[in-house]
A and B are shown apart, each in its own frame.
Chain A
Amino acid sequence: MTETPILEIRGLSKAFGPVKALSDVQFELKRGEIHALCGENGAGKSTLMNMIAGVLQPDRGEILIDGTSVSIPSPAAAQRLGVALVHQEIALCQDATVAENIYMAAINARRAPLMNFQKLYADAQKVMDLLAPIPVRTKVADLSISSQQLVEIAKALTLDCKVLMLDEPTAALTENEAQRLFAIVRGLRDRGISVVYISHRMAEIFSLCDRVTVFRDGHYVATDPIAKSSPDDVVRKMVGREITQLYPDKLAQEPGHKLLSVEGLSDGDRFSGVNLELRAGEILGIGGLIGAGRSEIAQSICGLRPVMSGTVALDRQSLRISSYSDAVKAGLVYLSEDRKGSGVFLDMSIAANVSALDLGKLTGSLGLLDRKAEDNQATDLTRRLGVRMAGIDAKVSTLSGGNQQKVAIAKQLSIDPKVIIMDEPTRGIDVGAKVEIHRLLRQLAAKGTGIVVISSELPELIGLCDRVIVVREGRIAGELGADALGEEAIIMLASGVQNSSNQEKQAQNVT
């Protein structure tokens, strides 16, 4: 196909106040290709997407669709031009049904005064079934985050678009759901739809996409055919320097004494009979599908959810935990997977965020907060973690995702914890910050802090952890030591494709 590209960007610039988000960038999307757009957070990918989708207006430059220069003053205008964007953040009406959400645009454009719910549900189910068997009469609020993400994608599929832009569509999806999504994206390509695909995951980009364009610091760097590129190559272009080693070295010697041991933990609902053990120096990974009960187990260990039976011992001392503040006092903390929802206080200062976990330490005899101590603590910890910020008085909302996460971790470190359970510690943050956080976790582990990492990203589990346990349907499906760690092994345990006798053997190894 040597015809004009379906979408072309020429010399586009956009500034927010004094900050240049994009300077003079170019981009070209051919008809019927899947084109990956890579760059660290803040590189300008989302800004570009938002301009193509009519959310933002460029300061300078041209957008050409089908060879014709167009102006896109609103999202509705983008839709009319056949451009659809699936945002990274979920923007659904939580109290409406899945079907109503999927056909929101169509309902909005309808002339008839009454709704035809029968047809609506039938049509919506057809679209939804392409992705996952989610009943379309369910309220969106009752769905998990990953299911909501799928609804968001289904919504875009109903628009009759020529260009589909997906902004990190798999950030909240499990491996299986992601695979299904890839199949659909390929199907769309074969029907002549052109796809812009934003992702941080190299594996996805290299299995799915035809070409890749890299942005850095608001500038265009390069466009290459996937076949002539490599993940290392792309990462190097993204960060502008060699990342020699993506993951820090693993533990060389035998792990030390028992830091955390959990026996027979059940909540009578989501999980039962959970045993696990963490030793000093090692990083323990917890894998499994989203919804398998990993977060619930972690939250129950820390007293954030009720427990029916089972024991938790920290440093060989049995713990009686009835609330999270008990766990914090004992030195056991949990880092939430939902950074913005429950990890940080976005509109509060960095210093206030860091001190939230243990105010008692910073409180004088009169019940007054010692501001100086608070500032010192925040200064120390943010320096140690390398938080890039204007100052500790800046609001957390002014930071990039990776730096917000560092603030959340600084909060955990403020109490000198014995064990930190981290739920998806690097979700949605850029490669550079990810590497830094991984290094930090390894340093902490080496200094004797127990680290448990829950992750849906297989490379992270394999690259970072010394040992991984896999959870399936609320039970420990198996454990993989350093020698057995591999993507296939984890997926098999997580999805239960292995034959059952084998699994039981592995389960016994754990107990």
Chain B
Amino acid sequence: MHAEIKAPDTAGRINFARLASMREAGLIVIILALCIAMSFASPHFLTWGNFRAMLMSFSIEGIVVVGMTILLIVGGIDLSVGSVVCFSMVVSGALFLAGLDPWTASLIGIGTSALIGAAMGFFVTVVGLNHFITSLAAMVIVRGLCLVITKGTPLSLFSLPPEFKAIGQGSLHGLPYVIIIFVVVVAIFDFLLRRATAFRKVFYTGSNEKAAQFSGIKTKQVKFWVTVLCSTLAGLAGVIYMARFGAATPTFGAGMELNIIAAAVIGGASLNGGSGTIFGAILGMALLSVVTSSLILLDVSVYWQDMIKGCILLAAVSIDHFLHRKKS
């Protein structure tokens, strides 16, 4: 009597499996296609120099994308990451200039970034505000703090010791440390997100918060710690940027949050929570980066770049929506 139930199950399952792998496979195909097309269009594209530049350009942002993706999975969002990246940079830089050694200064920079995350987590879980508004306020407040600390002028950090600058500028056998750190962070969190019990709770909470509570999961704790994690990773990125640029600019990172959210969403994270992968988000970031690089090599005016990135975001989300609608 239940033969009819079996049939849709099988069909549904195949579709789901196909959809899940399609997202990442699809992105890879698009990125490869773009690369091949570009290699014909520009002799400079298929060079190690260009690839290194592309990897460098998204490696540090990629660390922030990791935190954002996990936060999106739990059903949150963080608009303050750009400000927090800058804050970590400015605090570490100011402490270094005040005489602290750069490593301690950086740890404090990352620590204070985590505190900003904790403050946002407090407002979200205890006061009960939503992530969007809380992080919007934090974005403005933290940007203000950066301006207050630096009195509005960039801090010049040329005196940073070379072994610290190496984090951002040096390389190991030709492979920049920045890229190594990025790969390690991505590998660790991608693994944990798939395998660790603590991160499974993130999926439960984002998928259905009520059901998670009814399964004995302390969803507020989960949301709090994920918020802290996202800010902490932004803080880490800020310190690496400082090492790379040898300066701390109080306006750095403005608008970065949108790029990062776009990358995560192109990579399959849902703003409704419950789904997303770090690998996908990094592919999303890579796609945006390849497009930017291509536009530069093709001599397209920089004024067009944002518009084109916006269109890609819209296309990715539309395709996703279309596929989901078809499925149900």
A interface residues with partner B (beta carbon < 8 Å): 16-19, 40, 42-43, 216-218, 239-241, 304, 323-325, 327-328, 334, 336, 338, 341-348, 352, 356-360, 362-363, 367-369, 371, 388-391, 393-395, 397-400, 403, 411, 432
Contact = CB atoms under 8 A, between A and B. Distances in A.
Interface in B200-219: 200-201, 203-204, 207-208, 210-218
Given A19-B7, A345-B204, A394 B214 contact: no
B68 to A, nearest CB: 20
A16 B327 CA distance: 10
Given A390-B9, A400-B5, A432-B1, A359 B197 contact: yes
A250 to B, nearest CB: 26
B8 interface: yes
B13 A391 contact: yes
A218 B215 CA distance: 36
A475 B196 CA distance: 45
Nearest to B205: A345
A395 B201 contact: no
A377 B214 CA distance: 20
A356 B212 contact: yes
Contacts of A403: 5
Contacts of A368: 195-197
B255 interface: no
Given A352-B203, A395-B16, A325 B8 contact: no
Contacts of B203: 348, 352
A391 B16 CA distance: 12
B299 interface: no
A390 B214 contact: no
A389 B7 CA distance: 9
B201 A240 contact: no
For this complex, into which size category does the number of interface residues on chain B fall?
35 or more
Contact of B2 (A334, A358, A388): A388
Contact of B210 (A342, A363, A388): A342
A338 B210 CA distance: 10
A371 B195 CA distance: 8
Nearest to A216: B1
Interface in B1-53: 1-13, 16-17
A357 B215 contact: yes
Given A356-B204, A357-B216, A359-B201, A348 B274 contact: yes
B16 A369 contact: no
A399 B2 CA distance: 11
Nearest to A348: B207
A184 B248 CA distance: 73
| Residue among B12, B197, B215, B274 with the highest chain A CB neighbour number at 10 A | B215
A267 B262 CA distance: 46
B302 interface: no
Nearest to A403: B5
Nearest to A239: B1
Given A367-B197, A369-B200, A240 B218 contact: no
B275 interface: yes
A328 B216 contact: yes
A17 B18 CA distance: 15
Contacts of B3: 217
A388 B5 contact: yes
